[in-house]
Chains A and B, each alone.
Chain A
Amino acid sequence: MSALVALQGIAKGFGAGEARVQALSDITLSVAAGEVVGLRGPSGSGKSTLLNLVACILEPDEGILRLAGETVWQGRWAKADLRALRRRTIGFIFQFHNLLPFLDATDNVALAMTLNDVPLPEARDRARALLDYLQIGRRAGAMPAKLSGGEAQRVAIARALANRPHIILADEPTAALDSERAQVVMDLLRRVAREQAAAVLVVTHDDKIFGRFDRLVSLRDGRIEGEMRPG
């Protein structure tokens, strides 16, 4: 299977001189289509930094970053419009759902589609179908404040899937959920990876879900410490 996310010798540091922090060094990692990869490690080990590099919201110092078969960074950004790249190829899931509080569930999902120039009526139809697919269709008209944590997270997943992204990035998606809800979310991510041939990269501390990954990569002090296959 082809790697949709591929990092080669990636390094990233913050600050300069005395205050310099080397957040990541020599990271080589790939995630294939249909694969769900977990990223674990102690606090400060560089998990979020790694995710932000893949999301193209941080610029690497060294190495090569390839997304969906294209070189995105090698010495410099290969594309000018990173936001366009993000909205077409990457779906995001956050620890807190980050839904827009002033839009109902349907429109939160539809918004992501309209950003890709899908006409609003069509976007709403597709959003409702997506919410049905994630078994949250009956809450389609609810405002985020009225949704439970698990419901909101599923709406957020629907938004991440809105543009059928090749890559799904999730930062602590289950941290705010109980273990039952966390399992539901992991089931969903696995199903999406399989059915949509997407590469899924999940940062997590949550040992209850460690068993649900195809691969689990451990980071320590900005380096890959090891990798295991729970399955």
Chain B
Amino acid sequence: MNLALRDIRHNLGRFLLTCLGLGLLLGVALAMVGIYGGVVEEALSLARGLRADLWVVEGGSRGPFAEASRIPGDVREAVARLPGVTAAGSLTFQTVEARHAGGPGSGEIPSEELVRERAGEAGRQRSGAVLRLQVIGYEPDRPGGPPGILEGRGIGRGRLEMVLDRGAGAPLGAMVEMANIRYRVVGISTRAVSTGGDPLAWITLRDSQDLQFRLNPPAARRAQQGGGGALPQDTVNAVIARLSPHADPASVAAEIRRWKHFAALTAAEQEQVLTRSVVDRARKQLGLFTTVLLLVSAVIVALIIYTLTMDKMREIATLKLIGAPDSTIVALVMQQAMLLGAVSFAGGAALLLAVKDHFPRRVVLGPEEIAGFGLLVFVICLFASLLGVRYALRVEPAQALGG
């Protein structure tokens, strides 16, 4: 007969209440693991969403996300000519403070004059909610566009159009203002965020280069001077390439590295750079929180089991007196610790899985993370119960006698 179970059944209400408390704590700790998973996934979502097999960036840098990278835009043609490369596209990346500047307007294609006119308009009337965007400039018929359009269309050849991430919250047809220029939202893309968690916005390469110049004219000019034979304003942050299925990314990358002033990263290398440099601090912070929460859980389990065991002092003494071996007594204490851990963990995990989609940032939990965490809880309970076990083993059979 299992004494641990029988004792728990006898005090079921108290046991379940204890499990509820511990379960919430373990749920929070597990949430930390999931939030970390979410940070990793969000950090990788941009690089993955662009579906690049190869990244060409400034020599000596690990750009364009972890480090700054500026290269002349005409490198794209050289990359596109390489054997194995099926398509190549120039990209710019900039984080911009934008503002939501009003609802749907007329659908005209803006001319150069209109660009200037709209700039004046925006300068006069500043309003709307501030929006931090990761703006990606690309050439609409080349790689680098939004991974999927939910609503509306992709950007065309016209000026001042924008495809905006669903997470930004602006509706189709809305006007978004950046550096005193207004862009019309012509498409809403599927959820993807920058490495910092900002919503993404796509505009044409040309618009993005204008934007770069407007945001920081002196820096842009310096870059033009330093960029060798680059055309005025034709500076990009990276060129991405798609390869034919037969091409080996590593050897194409090696080919590009032989060129002066350029570095090349395969998709796998880019992901590694992102996880290492961008996610590292998040990992340290969330890891610290998880560790503290698990330590607190361990202390709580130890105290609960110790108290449960102390409450049973007389029963344990009686068991020893009537000749129960130590194994029976150790099993009683340890099985209760395991059961406490198992029920709490199951409750906490179930609760978290039920609410995780309502978190502001993504919570990513696979069966592996859950199983690993469960194993950790098991080990914690094992060690936490040792205090109770030590107490139980020290109970003297004589303590059962007398009043």
Contact = CB atoms under 8 A, between A and B. Distances in A.
Contact of A98 (B314, B323, B325): B314
A48 B324 contact: no
Given A48-B401, A102-B9, A57 B321 contact: yes
A58 B398 contact: yes
Given A55-B321, A57-B398, A94-B400, A111 B10 contact: no
Given A83-B323, A87-B323, A92-B322, A52 B9 contact: no
Nearest to B401: A171
A69 interface: no
B9 A111 contact: no
A114 B325 CA distance: 12
Contacts of B398: 52, 57-58
A102 B6 contact: yes
A104 to B, nearest CB: 9
A88 B7 contact: no
B322 A52 contact: no
A52 B403 CA distance: 14
A87 B1 contact: no
Contact of A88 (B9, B314, B323): B323
B315 interface: yes
A100 B322 contact: no
Contact of B396 (A57, A83, A103): A57
A48 B321 CA distance: 14
A98 B6 contact: no
B10 A102 contact: yes
Given A51-B401, A52-B398, A171-B401, A98 B1 contact: no
Contacts of A92: 321-322, 400
Interface string A22-34: 0000000000000
A86 B398 CA distance: 13
A111 B400 CA distance: 17
B401 A94 contact: yes
Given A55-B321, A86-B323, A102-B9, A111 B1 contact: yes
A166 interface: no
B403 A95 contact: yes
A158 to B, nearest CB: 12
B95 interface: no
Contacts of B324: 83, 87, 115
Given A83-B320, A87-B323, A115-B323, A96 B403 contact: yes
A59 to B, nearest CB: 12
A103 B318 CA distance: 14
Contacts of A98: 314-315, 318, 400
A151 B162 CA distance: 85
A87 B403 contact: no
Nearest to B7: A102
Nearest to A58: B398
Interface string B320-336: 11111100100000000
B402 interface: yes
A120 interface: yes
A112 B318 CA distance: 11
B328 A95 contact: no
B84 interface: no
A100 B230 CA distance: 88
Contacts of B320: 83
Interface string A91-121: 0101110101111000100111011100010
A142 interface: no
Contacts of B6: 102-103, 107
A101 B321 contact: no
A84 interface: yes
Nearest to B396: A57
Nearest to A143: B10
18 contacts: A55-B321, A84-B323, A92-B400, A95-B401, A95-B403, A96-B403, A98-B315, A101-B315, A102-B7, A102-B11, A103-B6, A110-B1, A111-B3, A112-B322, A114-B1, A115-B322, A159-B322, A171-B401
Given A57-B397, A98-B315, A114-B1, 11 more contacts: A52-B398, A87-B323, A95-B401, A98-B318, A101-B315, A102-B3, A115-B322, A115-B328, A116-B323, A143-B10, A171-B401
Interface of A: 48, 51-52, 55, 57-58, 83-88, 92, 94-96, 98, 100-103, 107, 110-112, 114-116, 120, 143, 159, 171-172
Going nearest first, the 10 A-B pairs with the smallest beta carbon separation are: A87-B323, A102-B10, A86-B323, A102-B7, A98-B318, A57-B397, A83-B323, A102-B6, A57-B398, A171-B401
